Structures are given as C-alpha cells and as structure tokens.
Structure 1
Amino acid sequence: MYTERAAPEAHGVLWRNTVSGGPYRVLPDGCLDLIWEGAEVIVAGPDTGPYLGDSEGAVFTGLRLASGVGPRVLGVPARELTDRRVPLADLWGGAEARRLAERLAATDAPGRILAAVAAARLAEAGPADPVIGEALAGLGAGDPVRLIAARAGLSERHLHRRCLDAFGYGLKTLSRIRRMGRAVSLVAAGIPLADVAFRAGYADQAHLSREVKALTGVPASAFKPTG
C-alpha cells in the first residue's frame, strides 16, 4: 500500500510504502529521495531508468524532494547520485546520520522528522540558484533548451553543467522523464494510448511506446488499469 502527502516546508512529498507483493518497480521522476528503511536512511538519486527492488514485507517512509531541491538538502551535486542508492552516512558522515536514525527509530512519525530536517538544511543553504528556477519554468512552458539558455545568459553547454548539478541530468532528459510520467498517469486513468500520445506531447503512439519502454522497462500497456 502506498500513500503520500505534500510537505511544502521541505519542497517535497512525504510518502509511505508497505511492500507486500514481492518485486517492485520504481519509475524515474527527476527527484531525489530520503528513505527511512527502519535501520538507516538511504538516499535514492535521480534515476534514468526503472529501479527494481525486492523487499517483501518491508515498510519504507520517504521524502521525495522536488527537482533541483535535493542537492541543497544533501550538500552534494545531483550528478554524483544519478542512478545510485547510497547510505546517508556516506554523504553526511556517520555521526550525523546515526543521530537522525536514532530520532527516526524513536518516533511514530518519521516522515515529519525527515521533512523538518530537510527544511532546516534548506534554510541553512540559502537562496536557490535562480537559473535552475528559470530552467524549470521554461521546461514547464515547453520552451526549447536553446531559448532557456539564452534567457539565462548562458551557453547550452554551461546550462547543461548547471542542470547536471541540480537534477542529475540535462533538461532534455528531465523533459523526457516528466513527459513519461504524464503519459503513465494518463494510461493508468484508462485513456486510450493514441489519445495519451497526443495529450502527453508525443509525435505518435509509436513514439510513446518507444519512450515509455526505454524509461520504465515495460510497455505502456503495462500501466493500463485492470479489472
């Protein structure tokens, strides 16, 4: 069973997942997560493909940080965490990570503590990079990367480097991942694939099929509702 709720103070989403069906698949979403596994906190970096897990019976509590927020909370560039799962102790040191784990183990609301810790670190980190905010706004508006770079007064290569630090990959990859997320949501809502392709911004249904398979490891039809 999976549940989630907004955590605006941490610019993220708190979630809880009880794995009861054996192997599971986590789709890329352009975000970094802090995950409490009951013994330690794990950092899940931004994925470029599906993450396959197998922890039947496990209960996970996580904080999914919005795109670009994770590096400010963790203190490391996102590019160092792309497609990786690492213990928080590797990033913050054993003592600090251990203190956090002790707090999480002693509470029945670990998500609240994760959000509070992330919010405190964001406050210490200072203002966000305005270029990253402009890049996300441009991406949301469907602007081409060259236009986003020009508005920021940067070359495309320089913008790409800034995005690697903030997101773990460039804007084109982040755009593909976000479009895939929209498509999967539409498929799961029962929308026909041809309509999904048009509404999510793919050239055609074949393009949708290739992109979803490349980013999730399964065909788009796998996300159709059952029953």
Structure 2
Amino acid sequence: MNPTGYREVPERGAGLVCSWTAALPADAVPFVQRVVPDGCVDVIWSADGVQVAGPDTGPMPAALRPGARMAAVRFGPGAAPPVLGVPADALRDARVPLRDLWGGAADGLADAVAGAGSLETRREVLVAAVRARAARVEPVDPLVPEVVAGLAEGSVRDVADALGLGERQLRRRSLAAFGYGPKVLQRVLRFQRALALARSGVPLADVAYAAGFADQAHFANEVRALAGEPVSALM
C-alpha cells in the first residue's frame, strides 16, 4: 500500500490481528496495490460499501481511485468464519459484499461507518462492530492454533497424527477454517515468515533456510508463485 496513505493498528482479541486505514489524495495518480497471500481475511469499508477480501492463493490487484478512503479490520488465519457466518473456502480468492453474508446488518454497518466523521473514527466504529459480532457467535475451531503451530514445524502428516485426525479430516476442517488445505496453508505461512524476515533486514541469502525452504531456488520459486514477483519487489 502507498506508504503515505496506509496506517495499520495492531489489534488483540476477537481473532483480529490489526485494523487499518488507507487514503489517496484527490489529485493522486490512480494506484494499484498487489495484495499477496497471508492467510487472513479483511473486512473493508469504502465509499462503495463493505466487502470481505480473501483468503487469497495468489497475488490480487487492488485498484485505488484518487480520493479513495478505506477503513478495515483483518482477521488472523482461521478466525473469520464464525464472525462472517460462512466457511473460509467460500471466500477463497474472492471479494464479496458483506451484505451477501450479513444481510441488512451490513447496510447498517456501512451507514454507521460512513457517518462517523474522520477516517480514524470510522476505523474505530468498524472495529467495535466486528468485535461486538464476534462476542455473539461460536468460538473459532480449536483446531486452528494447533494447525498453525504444527505446520510451522512439521509435515501435514505430522500435524494430523498429533491431532489424532486422518489427513482427509484435517483437510476438510482446514478448508472450512482457513480457506486452504493444510499444504497450501503451510506454503502461505512459510512465505509470510520469509517476507517478515526479509523486511526485518535478514540477508536474502539467509532467509530461505531460516523460513524453512529447502534451498534458495525453492524460496525464489515459491515467492514467484504466491506473489507474482521476486521478494526484492516486496520489500
């Protein structure tokens, strides 16, 4: 996102990892942001209403018009389905109007955010509404944190064995929770670890090993597959 127009705020609880705002001046050149897979799901308010984004399996272009203003919340991997009311694989690689999931409640939320004044206040209203919704629904599948932690260290079979599940059952529950089967989820999480390391200043020659790739070529190929460009372009 354009660094002059994007602001991110860490969040805790309700399955949220952050909220964010973005704004382009009215005289700005139209801007296209390449969104790369992170396993997360965003609920985004703009002048066009509220939509749900992700989880993605590859790079997705997001066009911002001059004068665009957005406020959003981001769910961590596996946290969005109970709040949105649909399994995550129903949202994979999609941008869906929140009204399709929440009905008239989404229109009320869009009106409340739009009428809140400043962009920062709109972000706060959106966060509060999502938190209130999360407090009224079933909790996240308890499998979620164990799968995320397990895939960081071992194979899909290792994780299935540790959880006492067959690989097919693990895949079914992973699709519903994350939008991905466990093998794809592992690739996305590993890619994000590598990106975080690279952005923190770790030399690219060391990132592949530290993030769990087989070698430098494996790292480069996975970044190209998931982001559509080399890691140097994502820094």
State the SS of the aligned residue for 1:8. coil
Is contact 1:10-1:115 (8 Å) kept?
no
Give the whole-Å Cα distance in 2 for the aligned partners of 1:130 and 1:186.
Answer: 28
Find out whether 1:23 has 2:66 as its counterpart: no
How do residues 1-227 of structure 1 correspond to structure 2 at under 5 angstroms? Answer: 1-12=5-16, 13-19=18-24, 22-57=31-66, 58-93=68-103, 95-107=104-116, 108=118, 109-140=121-152, 142-224=153-235
Give the whole-Å Cα distance in 2 for the aligned partners of 1:9 and 1:189.
Answer: 25
Q: Which 10-residue stretch deviates more, 149-158 or 120-129?
A: 120-129
Is contact 1:47-1:84 (8 Å) kept?
yes
Q: Which 10-residue stretch deviates more, 147-156 or 70-79?
A: 147-156
Give the whole-Å Cα distance in 2 for the aligned partners of 1:66 and 1:187.
Answer: 21
Is contact 2:6-2:22 (8 Å) kept?
yes
Amino acid aligned to 2:20: W
Give the whole-Å Cα distance in 2 for the aligned partners of 1:155 and 1:138.
Answer: 15
Once the two structures are superposed, residues 157-206 of structure 1 have per-residue CA deviations (whole angstroms, 9 ceiling, x without a partner) of 11100000000001221111121112223333443321111221111111
Is contact 2:55-2:88 (8 Å) kept?
yes
What's the offset of the Cα at 1:149?
Answer: 1.4
Give the whole-Å Cα distance in 2 for the aligned partners of 1:208 and 1:80.
Answer: 29
Give the whole-Å Cα distance in 2 for the aligned partners of 1:33 and 1:87.
Answer: 12
Give the whole-Å Cα distance in 2 for the aligned partners of 1:137 and 1:185.
Answer: 17
Is contact 2:44-2:70 (8 Å) kept?
yes
Give the whole-Å Cα distance in 2 for the aligned partners of 1:106 and 1:163.
Answer: 38
Is contact 2:44-2:72 (8 Å) kept?
yes
CA RMSD of aligned residues (A): 1.7
State the SS of the aligned residue for 1:221. helix
Amino acid aligned to 2:58: G
Amino acid aligned to 1:14: S
Give the whole-Å Cα distance in 1 for the aligned partners of 2:92 and 2:193.
Answer: 21
Which sections of structure 2, spanning at least 5 residues, go unmatched? none
Is contact 1:61-1:110 (8 Å) kept?
yes
Once the two structures are superposed, residues 195-218 of structure 1 have per-residue CA deviations (whole angstroms, 9 ceiling, x without a partner) of 111221111111111000000000
Is contact 2:81-2:177 (8 Å) kept?
yes
Give the whole-Å Cα distance in 2 for the aligned partners of 1:134 and 1:190.
Answer: 29
What's the offset of the Cα at 1:223?
Answer: 2.8
Aligned length: 222
Give the whole-Å Cα distance in 2 for the aligned partners of 1:54 and 1:45.
Answer: 15
Which sections of structure 1, spanning at least 5 residues, go unmatched? none
